[in-house]
Homo-oligomer: A and B are copies of this chain.
Amino acid sequence: MTDVKQKSEAHPELLDTADKLHSAAIHLLRRLRVRDRESGIGPAQLSALSVLVFGGAKSLGELADAEQVRPPTMSRIVSGLERVGLIKRHATDDGRRVRLEATAKGTKILWEGRRRRVESLAKALESLSAQEQQQLSEFTALLQQVLRKL
Bound state CA distance, A33 and B25, in angstroms? Answer: 12
A16 to chain B, nearest CB (A): 8
Closest to A24 in B: B143
Which B residues are in CB contact (< 8 Å) with A120? 150
Bound state CA distance, A48 and B142, in angstroms? Answer: 30
Instruction: Please tell me if the beta carbons of B17 and A133 are within 8 angstroms of each other in the complex.
Output: yes
Q: How many copies does the complex hold?
A: 2
Bound state CA distance, A23 and B121, in angstroms? Answer: 12
A42 to chain B, nearest CB (A): 14
Instruction: Please tell me if the beta carbons of A147 and B10 are within 8 angstroms of each other in the complex.
Output: no
Task: Say which size band chain A's interface belongs to.
Answer: 35 or more
Closest to A25 in B: B25
Instruction: Please tell me if the beta carbons of A147 and B27 are within 8 angstroms of each other in the complex.
Output: yes
Instruction: Please tell me if the beta carbons of B29 and A26 are within 8 angstroms of each other in the complex.
Output: yes
Which B residues are in CB contact (< 8 Å) with A150? 28, 31-32, 120-121, 124
Which B residues are in CB contact (< 8 Å) with A143? 20-21, 24, 28, 136, 139
Closest to A149 in B: B124
Q: Answer yes or no: A141 CB below 8 A from chain B CBs.
A: yes
Write 17 A-B pairs (CB below 8 A) sorted by A numbering: A15-B119, A17-B140, A19-B118, A20-B143, A20-B144, A21-B121, A23-B144, A24-B147, A25-B28, A121-B150, A124-B150, A125-B146, A127-B149, A128-B145, A135-B139, A135-B142, A136-B139
Of all A-B residue pairs in the complex, the 6 with the closest CB atoms, nearest first, are A139-B139, A18-B121, A20-B140, A18-B122, A25-B25, A14-B122
